[in-house]
Structure 1
Amino acid sequence: MRKAPKTQAEEASYTVGSLAKLAGVTVRALHHYEDEGLLHPERTASGYRCYGAADVERLQQILLLRSCGLSLGDIRGALDNGDFDFHGVLVNHLATLRARQKELETLVGTVEKTIASLEGRCTMTDEERFEGMKARAIAENEERYGAEVRQAYGDAAMDAANERMAGMSQEEWGDAKALEAAILEQLTAAKATGDPTGEAARKLCAMHARWLQMHWGEGAYSPAAHAALAEGYVADQRFTAYYDEAAGEGATAFLRDALIAWCAEQ
Structure 2
Amino acid sequence: MGLQVKELANLTGISVRTLHHYDHIGLLVPSTTTDAGYRLYADADIAKLQQILFFRALDFPLKEIKRILASPDYSTLEALDVQRSMLMERRAQLNEMIETIDKTIRSKKGEFAMSNEERFKGMAFKDDTYEQEARERWGDAPIEESKRRVESLSDAEQQALGEEWERIYRKLAEVMQTESPESARSQEAIAEWFHYLNANFGTYSKAAFAGLGEMYVADERFTKNIDAYGDGLAVFMAKAMKEFGRLR
TM-score by length of 2: 0.49
TM-score by length of 1: 0.46
Name the structure, 1 or 2, with higher relative contact order (CA <8 Å, separation 6+): 2
Name the structure with the higher helix share: 1
